[in-house]
Amino acid sequence: MDHLSSYLVLSAILFSLGLYTVVTRRNAVAILMGVELILNAANINFVAFSKFVTHNLDGHLISVFIIMLAAAEAAVALAIVLNLYNDRGHINVDEANSLKQ
Amino acid sequence: MADFIFWMIWVLIVATAGLVAFGNNLIHSVFALMGTFLGVAGIYIFLNADFLAVTQIVVYVGGILVLLVFGIMLTNKISTAQISQSSVQKGLGIIIVLAILVIILSAVLSHDWTGSIQPMNFTDTVAGIGKLLFTDYLILFEIASVLLLGALVGAATLARKEL
Amino acid sequence: MIKLALFILFLPLLSFVLQIFLGRRFEDKKGEWVSVGIQFTTLILSLIMFVMMMSKHDPGFSLEFHQSWLDLGLFKIDLGLYIDNITVIMLNVVAIISSLVHLYSTAYMEGDVRYSRYFGFLGIFTFSMNGIVLANSLFMIYIFWELVGLSSYLLIGHWWEKDSAANAGKKAFITNRVGDIGMFTGMLIIATVLGTFNFQQIAERIHEGVWAANAGMLFGGIEPHKLLTIAGVLVFMGAVGKSAQFPLHVWLPDAMEGPTPVSALIHAATMVAAGVYLTVRIFPFLTADAMATIAFIGGFTAIYAATIAITQNDIKKVLAYSTVSQLGYMVMALGTGAYVAGFFHLVTHAMFKGALFLASGSVIHAMHHSLHKIHDHETDAQDMRNMGGLRTRMPITFGVFMITTAAISGIPLFSGFLSKDAILAGSWAYAANVHEGWLANLHLAWLLPVFGFGAAAITAFYMFRLIFMTFYGEAKRPEIFRHIKESPKVMTVPLMILAILSMFFVFTLPSVNPISSHGWFTELIQSPESAVTTGPAFELEHFEHGLHAAHVPAMATSLIVAALGLLLSVLIYLLKKISAEELAQKLGVLYRGSFNKWYMDEFYINGIIRPFLKGCGAVGRFDLDFYDHYLINGWGRNAKKTSRGVGLADDLIVDGAVNFSGIIFQWLGWTLKFIQTGKIQNYLIFVLIGAALLFVANVF
């Protein structure tokens, strides 16, 4: 616990799990959960470096802003998801492929 | 004792995040995500980030998680607590994610962190964060407020039935 | 004190906001009384400040508060308030006139189409005027300077359905712009050399020699003293515009198109005095040469406008030219160094001229109602040739008119006598004390007292002409006269208050000597030391000595000339011993010149605006006939020919190459389209593979 790499390894695992969720899940809400995992991984890194390397509060500030951004992002993303549901009756991302053509 | 708690939290985070990534029941995933968030808040406490820990619980657990549950409930016809979910391109996904994990871990572990680094024990970060927020980060703060307003209006506009 | 000042500054703005956003809804529910109430609150606050000032009784009292507004590293602009005795007195003048005008307007403007908006504009005007008065720096004065310009424009054009009103508004705005360009340039010169806009700091730094050290280096080796003169005169140009000094006076008479209470508030008592106030503020750093320029502009304006006022028949036009003339007096006083006298006249003039305008408004109001009753919409309600004999019908208005006319004519027992006398003594002392430079050769400085006394005589003449034509004699149009009646109380009470404030003792207490201006005013306002070190500055001590000597002869002369003017007026217009028409005929050229305002408007139109438009037309034709026809189109014809040849080469060689590459990309696109699944997660995988590959490539 007094070792930076224990935090960094945790954050790397958390990041990978989040990434995996984003890449493989079909449900849009589940993908959103993956995004939150990734953001949390980044936050842990910022705060850990703040304590072990830079010795100031800048990392904390960045984390505060990230949390704020995550909240905004979740709100907008869920609004989009609701729209998608109203439009198609499901929220499966792999079937939303009108980007093709 | 502290060491033990730390590793417990460590394992809790990895386990719950794993459940989020691999679980088959969406409801279970959401509750596992709550475990992850709480665990991360615990990690913040170990990092002396008291303000962030509280913010984490208030915003993530109290706000975002509730939003996610709403999102699930509004987009499924619920009859049981079992909302199954499935995944796509699992094989390709696991290979590439593992590759990236290996890359990050090799970067983290190959560097010798112990040499030059002393941990800094902050006491009471709230005052410091407050000061920074209204001096060096003032513009960022103002922009963030505008962004939040934009997100608010945007979400409300998008969620209306007649778009 | 600062808090009080902030309240006084921002309360009228509140009134503006309320009237603009909510006013229309409350028009029928006495919404205007909110504005009146706010205005009277500021009046009370101002009076509290006045009492505080009187209890301190310290001529050197000053208070400053400032807040950084714009910080660009080396260049900083502070906004703030500066309060001294002058500020407090000015605040009171503005608050008194403004609140009385608000009260008066509730009756005068009753039933107007844009009633609530009118009160809103009065509010923003009062706000900006207070801003000018409280400003601690040239920059802040400039901001509010433009704001009063704007509110003046809005109020002059209040009845914009009339073309003449709309045009008068534009004229006022544009004419002021000419002066403001000068002011802005002057400000920039001062800020460039000294790095500050703040009045106190400017004076300090000039005194410490910063100007002498920097000016030459920054402005191409110009002599610092000359540059300071130029800067002073340039800043003063703003005052020339706003205070309607020659040659930018043309807008003020036209501004009478606005409602009469507005004329009283803005174009007689306060806004036009802002120029004089600005000159008071920059007084410490004016050089002797700049002051001489200012004195001559003021003196000439005083007599020039007075000669025009003699022949005007519109009651408001007479008062407008008299305002220009009186403003010329104040400016001349400041130019000759009679600082206290200039500011004193500003205050006394605000009171009696405000009263004169409001009283004339009362007459016009009565005329309007009478004309309305007999369904006459042709006759001009402001033309004095249609009035006459009104004193029996409007006794209060007549009494106020009498008192204030006595004040403006410089008759003892009234405030105007004291201030005017001080100005005349100042110009006399100035002329007697100039011993060197271009003024002393030819004795040109003696022109100033001549202007001053001449204007004093003419003022007495035309003001009593106005009274005799309006209130005495028999009614020229009996059918109108029959319906004339005194205005309501809300109009007459402000008149009476202002008439009382035009008495001499208001300004001389606790001493009550009708021929000496010594009193609280002269004790609290004292001339500042000149800060100019670069060359000849104004010698205050010398001047005050001369002032003492000139006091008695100046007073005697001023009494004699005022009596002469009054006598002539009585002979011509009251007793009709001399026929005005015959006199006009005998004086032919002079009469026509004066009647047509010495052709100043015609000069501007024919001498500047028309030639300018013609020049524009000529340049335009040159553009069209020569430049467009031969150069542009000719070039075009040649280019067309050349391009036809080039086009042929293009078709064969370049197009061939382009088509070939097109074919290649078409083929590429066809092959690549199979990896486009349209699924985001697929794309994400590609991105991740790319990122991993980049990392690997970077390491190995």
Looking at the complex, report in whole angstroms how far the Cα of residue B116 sits from the nearest Cα belonging to chain A.
9
Are residues B71 and A80, on separate chains, in Cβ contact within 8 Å?
Answer: no
Is there a domain that residue B125 lies in?
Answer: no
Q: Considering only C434-443, C530-539, C577-586, which range has the smallest mean pLDDT?
A: C434-443
pLDDT number for residue C484: 79
Whole-angstrom Cα distance, residue C383 to residue C401?
A: 17
The verdict on C218 touching B (C-beta cutoff 8 Å) is no
The pLDDT mean for chain C works out to: 83
- Measure CB to CB from residue B89 to each of C681, C692, C695 and give the nearest one: C681
CB C7 within 8 A of CB C132: no
Nearest CA in chain B to A2: B119
Worst-scoring range by mean pLDDT, C134-138, C210-214, C262-266, C450-454?
Answer: C210-214
Helical segments of C570-632, H only:
580-595, 600-602, 610-621
Task: State the smallest CA–CA distance between residue C146 and chain A in angstroms.
Answer: 42
**Is A19 close to C680, i.e. CB distance below 8 A?**
no
Q: Measured between CA atoms, how close is C673 to chain A, in angstroms?
A: 9
The model's confidence at residue B86, banded by pLDDT at 50, 70 and 90, is confident
pLDDT score of A70 = 92
Most confident of C58-72, C105-119, C143-157: C143-157
Q: What is the largest CA-CA distance in chain B?
A: 61
In order of A73, A87, B150, B156, B159, the CA distances from B162 in angstroms are 22, 11, 20, 12, 9
C687 touches A at CB < 8 Å? no
The 3 state secondary structure assigned to chain B is CHHHHHHHHHHHHHHHHHHHHHCCEHHHHHHHHHHHHHHHHHHHHHCCCHHHHHHHHHHHHHHHHHHHHHHHHHCCCCCCCCCECCECCHHHHHHHHHHHHHHHHHHHHHCCCCCCCCCCCCCCHHHHHHHHHCCCCHHHHHHHHHHHHHHHHHHHHHHCCCC
- B147 lies in some domain: no
Smallest Cα–Cα separation from C143: which of C224, C78, C236? C78
Whether A101 shows a pLDDT value over 60: the answer reads no
C676 touches chain A (CB under 8 A): yes
Rounded percentage of chain C residues whose pLDDT exceeds 70: 94
B159 part of a folded domain: no
Mean pLDDT of B29-40: 92
Identify the pLDDT of residue C222: 79
Which residue, among B64, B100, B71, has the nearest Cα to B85 in the 3D structure? B71
Of B139-148, C556-565, C587-596, the range with the lowest mean pLDDT is: C587-596
- Number of structural domains in chain B: 1
What's the average model confidence in pLDDT over C382-389?
79
Distance in angstroms (rounded) separating the CA atoms of residues B28 and A56: 38
Rounded CA-CA distance C38/C44 in Å is 10
The answer to whether residue B148 is domain-embedded is no
What mean pLDDT comes out for the span B108-115?
Answer: 76
**C191-227 pLDDT, tens per residue?**
888 888 888 888 888 888 888 777 777 777 778 888 8
CB B81: neighbour CB atoms within 10 A? 9
Which residues in chain B are closer than 8 Å to A94, comparing Cβ atoms?
88
Q: Residue C79 forms beta bridges with which residues?
A: C67
Q: Taking CB atoms and an 8 Å cutoff, what residues of chain B touch C696?
A: 103
* Cα–Cα–Cα angle for C469, C474, C478, rounded to 5 degrees: 110
pLDDT average, residue stretch C108-118: 81
Q: How far apart are CA B57 and CA B36, in angstroms?
A: 11
- Sequence letter at residue C574: L
pLDDT band at A97, cuts 50/70/90? low
- What's the confidence (pLDDT) of residue C244? 86
Tell me the C-alpha distance between C477 and C499, whole Å. Answer: 29
B142 within some domain: no
Work out the angle at residue C691's Cα, subtended by the Cα atoms of residues C688 and C697, and round it to the nearest 5 degrees. Answer: 140
Q: Does C684 touch chain A (CB under 8 A)?
A: yes
Residue B59: which CATH number?
1.20.120.1200
Put simply, whether B42 touches A (Cβ < 8 Å) is no
pTM (two decimals): 0.65
3-state secondary structure C184-253: HHHHHHHHHHHCCCEHHHHHHHHHCCHHHHHHHHHCCCCCHHHHHHHHHHHHHHHHHHHCCCCCCCCHHH
Helix (H, G, I), strand (E, B) or coil at C129: helix
Between residues C440 and C522, which one has the greater pLDDT?
C522
Mean pLDDT of B28-57: 91
* pLDDT at residue number B42: 92
Q: Which residues of C touch B92 (CB under 8 A)?
A: 685
Q: Decide if C685 and B92 are in contact by the 8 Å CB cutoff.
A: yes
Best of B89, B97, B135 to disrupt the A interface (most A CBs within 10 Å) is B97
In sequence order, what are the beta bridge partners of B84?
A: B25
Residue B30: its chain A contacts at CB < 8 A? 33
The boundaries of the domain holding residue B94 are: 1-102
Q: Is C31 helix (H, G, I), strand (E, B) or coil?
A: coil
**CA–CA separation, C632 and C613 (whole Å):** 25
> CA A29 from chain center: how many Å?
12
Neighbours of B114 (CB within 10 A): 10
**Confidence band for B12, pLDDT divided at 50, 70 and 90:** very high
Residue at C39: amino acid letter: Q
Rg (CA), chain B: 20
Distance from CA of B1 to the nearest CA of C (A): 39
Q: Given CB atoms, is B146 within the 8 Å cutoff of chain A?
A: no
Number of residues that this document lists for chain B: 163
Asked whether residue B41 carries a pLDDT value surpassing 90, the answer given is: yes
Does B115 map to a domain?
Answer: no
Nearest Cα residue to C574 out of C469, C476, C655? C469
C-beta pairs of C154-161 under 8 Å, 24+ apart in sequence: C154/C121, C155/C118, C155/C121, C155/C122, C155/C125, C155/C258, C155/C259, C155/C262, C155/C266, C156/C255, C156/C257, C156/C258, C156/C262, C157/C257, C157/C258, C158/C114, C158/C118, C158/C121, C158/C258, C158/C259, C158/C262, C159/C257, C159/C258, C159/C259
Identify the pLDDT of residue B15. 93
pLDDT at A10: 93
Smallest CA–CA distance, residue C660 to chain A, in Å, is 25
> With contact defined as beta carbons under 8 Å apart, do C695 and B103 qualify?
yes
When pLDDT is cut at 50, 70 and 90, the band that residue C614 belongs to is confident
Report the run of H or E that residue C120 belongs to, with start and end: helix C115-134
Which residues contact residue C416 at a Cβ distance below 8 angstroms, ignoring those fewer than 6 apart?
C345, C348, C349, C352, C406, C407, C408, C409, C410, C502
Q: For position C450, what pLDDT does the model report?
A: 85
Question: What's the helix, strand, coil split of chain A in %, to 5?
Answer: 80, 5, 15
Q: Which residues contact C653 (CB under 8 A, 6 or more apart)?
A: none
Residue C78: strand pairing partners: C68
Contact C547, C426 (CB under 8 A): yes
Measure CA B100 to chain center. Answer: 19
Dihedral angle sign, alpha carbons of residues A4, A7, A11, A13: positive
Residue B124 C-alpha, separation from nearest chain C C-alpha, in angstroms: 33
Within 10 Å of residue A76's Cβ, how many Cβ atoms? 18
Q: Has residue B140 got a pLDDT over 60?
A: yes
Residue C662 to chain A, least CA–CA distance (Å): 20
pLDDT over 60 (residue C343)? yes
**Mean pLDDT on C139-168:** 87
Mean pLDDT computed over every residue of chain B? 86
Q: Which residue is it, tokens 């306060």?
A: C270
Q: Where are the alpha helices (DSSP H) in A25-57?
A: 28-49
Residue found by looking up tokens 């984490």 in the block: B56
Report whether pLDDT(C536) > 70.
no
Q: Count CB-CB contacts under 10 A for residue C106.
A: 19
pLDDT at residue A100, rounded to an integer: 58
Q: Which of B130, B52, B39, B101 is nearest to A51 (CA)?
A: B52
ipTM of the complex: 0.89
| Phi and psi torsions of C511, nearest 5° | -85, 145
**Angle value at C-alpha B141, between B136 and B145, nearest 5 degrees:** 170
- Under an 8 A CB cutoff, do C688 and A22 touch? no
For residue A23, pLDDT beyond 60: yes
List the structure tokens of B114.
């112990």
The count of CB pairs under 8 A between chains B and C is: 18
User: Which neighbouring-strand residues pair with C75?
Assistant: C72
Q: How far C672 CA lies from chain A's nearest CA (Å)?
A: 13
The CATH number of domain A4-88 is 3.30.470.20: no
Neighbour subunits, C (≥3 Cβ pairs < 8 A): A, B
Query: Which pLDDT belongs to residue C271?
Result: 86
Residue C699's contacts (CB-CB under 8 Å, 6 or more residues apart) are none
Predicted pLDDT at B79: 61
Beta bridge partners of C383: C314
What residues of C are in contact with residue A93 (Cβ under 8 Å)?
679-681
Q: Which residues of C touch B96 (CB under 8 A)?
A: 685, 688-689, 692
Confidence class for position A16, pLDDT limits 50, 70, 90 = very high
Residue B94 lies in a domain: yes
The answer to whether residue B158 scores a pLDDT higher than 90 is: no
In which region does residue C691 sit, left (phi positive, over 0), alpha (psi from -120 to 50) or beta (all else)?
alpha
Contact A23/C676, CB-based, under 8 Å?
no
pLDDT in tens, A31-90: 999 999 999 999 999 999 888 888 888 899 999 999 999 999 999 998 888 888 888 877
Torsions phi, psi of B36, nearest 5? -60, -50
pLDDT the model gives residue C695: 84
* B37 inside domain: yes
Mean pLDDT of C596-625: 78
pLDDT band at B108; cut points 50, 70, 90: confident
pLDDT at C540 over 60: yes
C46-C50-C55 Cα angle (round to 5): 150
Contact B159 A3 (CB under 8 A): no
Cα B1 from Cα A85, distance rounded (Å): 49
Q: Is C70 on the interface with B (CB under 8 A)?
A: no
Residue C76: pLDDT band with limits 50, 70, 90: confident
Cis before C488? omega within 30: no
- CB pair distance less than 8 Å for A60 and B129: yes
Looking at residue C478, its pLDDT comes to 76
Q: Where are the domains of chain A?
A: 4-88
Q: What angle do CA C374, C376, C377 make, to 5 degrees?
A: 145
**Which residues of chain A neighbour C681 with C-beta distances below 8 Å?**
22-24, 93-94
pLDDT reported for residue C548: 74
